[in-house]
Structure formats: C-alpha cells, structure tokens
C-alpha cells in the first residue's frame, strides 16, 4: 500500500473524529458514549490498514495518532467548558476522564470490552 493511502486513511479518520466530537458537543453526549466512538474510528483505520499489508508498527502509530487527536479535542473542550463550583479546570482530570473510557481491543483484558 502506498503512503498516499496511509495518509488518506489517517486524514479521513481524523475528520470522522472531528465530526463525532462536534456531535458530542452539540448533543451533549455522555463521555462514556463519546470516547468509545473515537476509539472505534481509530480501530477501524487500524483494521483497514492492517488488512492492506501495512506494517504493524505503522498501524499502531496511525491508531494512536487518531486517538491522540480525539483526546486533544476532548481535553480542549474540557478546559474551555469546565465549571464545577467555579474551580479552575485541571488538564490531568480531562486526561483521566478520557482514558477511563478509552478501551481498545489492545487493552480489553484490563477492562473487559472490545472496540
């Protein structure tokens, strides 16, 4: 598979994550629903690339990059809209919240779910 396809898959997946994130904000979707959708999009890209003979290392990098992209959108939104007793938002809390629901087939034994 040529590099152009790898770039296209990553860009397409990131666009999907961005649209999912906008839907999450607009419709006030719960974090436990939103974060797994991001993971699912990353997993779909990973599966597609691996089925098309892209190296395991490259697939992992793409998957993690897509998850990081979604995590960064999540953190940014958390930091901008956080309002719990007018305390300042803590980025580490946003990361912990994201990671709580970020379950993949690679860590399913820890959490018992697969995406």
The 10s digit of each residue's pLDDT in 7-50 is 999 999 999 999 999 999 888 878 888 999 999 999 999 999 99
The 10s digit of each residue's pLDDT in 66-102 is 999 999 999 999 888 876 656 777 889 999 999 998 8
Between CA 96 and CA 100 the distance in angstroms is: 6
| pLDDT of res. 86 | 64
| pLDDT of res. 66 | 97
| The total number of structural domains that make up the chain | 1
| pLDDT of res. 68 | 96
Between CA 77 and CA 60 the distance in angstroms is: 26
| pLDDT of res. 54 | 92
Distances (CA, A) of 55 to 2, 52, 59: 12, 9, 6
The predicted model scores a pTM of 0.83
Q: What angle do CA 29, 76, 89 make, to 5 degrees?
A: 95
Query: What interhelical angle do 3-27 and 31-51 show, nearest 10?
Result: 170
Mapping DSSP onto H, E and C, the string for 64-90 reads HHHHHHHHHHHHHHHHHHCCCCCCCCC
| pLDDT of res. 37 | 94
Cα-atom radius of gyration of the chain, to the nearest Å? 15
| pLDDT of res. 114 | 44
The boundaries of the domain holding residue 23 are 3-111
pLDDT band at 1 (very low <50, low <70, confident <90, very high): low
Query: What interhelical angle do 56-81 and 31-51 show, nearest 10?
Result: 160
């Amino acid at each position: 598979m040529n590099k152009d396809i790898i770039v296209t898959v990553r860009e397409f997946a990131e666009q999907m994550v961005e649209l999912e994130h906008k839907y999450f904000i607009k419709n006030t979707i719960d974090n436990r629903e939103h974060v797994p959708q991001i993971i699912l999009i990353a997993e779909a890209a990973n599966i597609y690339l691996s089925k098309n003979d892209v190296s395991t290392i490259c697939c992992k990098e793409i998957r993690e990059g897509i998850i990081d992209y979604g995590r960064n959108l999540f953190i940014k939104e958390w930091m901008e809209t956080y309002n719990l007793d007018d305390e300042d938002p803590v980025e580490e809390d946003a990361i912990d919240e994201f990671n709580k629901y970020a379950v993949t087939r690679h860590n399913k034994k820890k959490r018992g779910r697969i995406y």
